[in-house]
Copies of this chain bind each other. A is one copy, B any other.
Amino acid sequence: MTPAPEPGPRWLTESEQDAWYAWRRMFPLVNAEIARDLNQDSGLSEADYDVLSVLGSTDGHRMRISALAELMRWSRSRLSHQLTRMEQRGVVRREEVASDGRGAEVVLTDSGVTMITEAAPLHVESVRRHLLDALAPDQLRTLAEVGEVLRERLGARRKT
């Protein structure tokens, strides 16, 4: 998927290639499995689940839309589209907020609360099955480490 016809100035070593290929394959593969489970078990997409689970763990099952977007690191646009779809299915509701005429909040409906409550334990099991249980403790630790390193590096780059 990534070897290219004319090697550039500084091509990849074999171990770099291995890591890069693993990186490219791993995530789509595992995530597809988890997403498939989630959809079969609970009828939710990953995006649905993420939104529901954040709202489900907030006080009053509600949050300011922009705050939700920032917390999830989603664009406002993406979230707005997603909420429109979820609102049509009746799992969330939008409400205007008094203190700011522009603002709005999302609120979980009862149906939404039920959904996330039932979906969560199944999802956790699925994550175990497809990822966590497959890996040794030191591999899990390295994953977390790597995540940290990459996040920091990205943050540093952002300021530049």
Contacts and interface: CB of A to CB of B under 8 A. Distances in A.
Give this chain's copy count: 2
Given A53-B1, A153-B134, A9 B121 contact: yes
A101 interface: no
A137 to B, nearest CB: 7
Contacts of A26: 143, 146-147, 150-151
A131 interface: yes
Contacts of A19: 131-132, 135, 140-141, 143-144, 147
Contact of A137 (B2, B15, B73, B127): B15
Contact of A12 (B3, B11, B113, B124): B124
Interface in A3-41: 3-12, 15-16, 18-23, 25-27, 29-31, 33
Nearest to A72: B1
Consensus secondary structure, chain A interface: helix
Interface of A: 1-12, 15-16, 18-23, 25-27, 29-31, 33, 50, 53-54, 56-57, 72-73, 113, 116-117, 119-125, 127-128, 130-132, 134-135, 137-151, 153-154
8 contacts: A4-B117, A6-B121, A8-B121, A19-B141, A21-B144, A22-B143, A23-B27, A135-B146
Closest 6 CB pairs of A and B: A8-B121, A22-B147, A4-B120, A18-B144, A19-B140, A5-B56
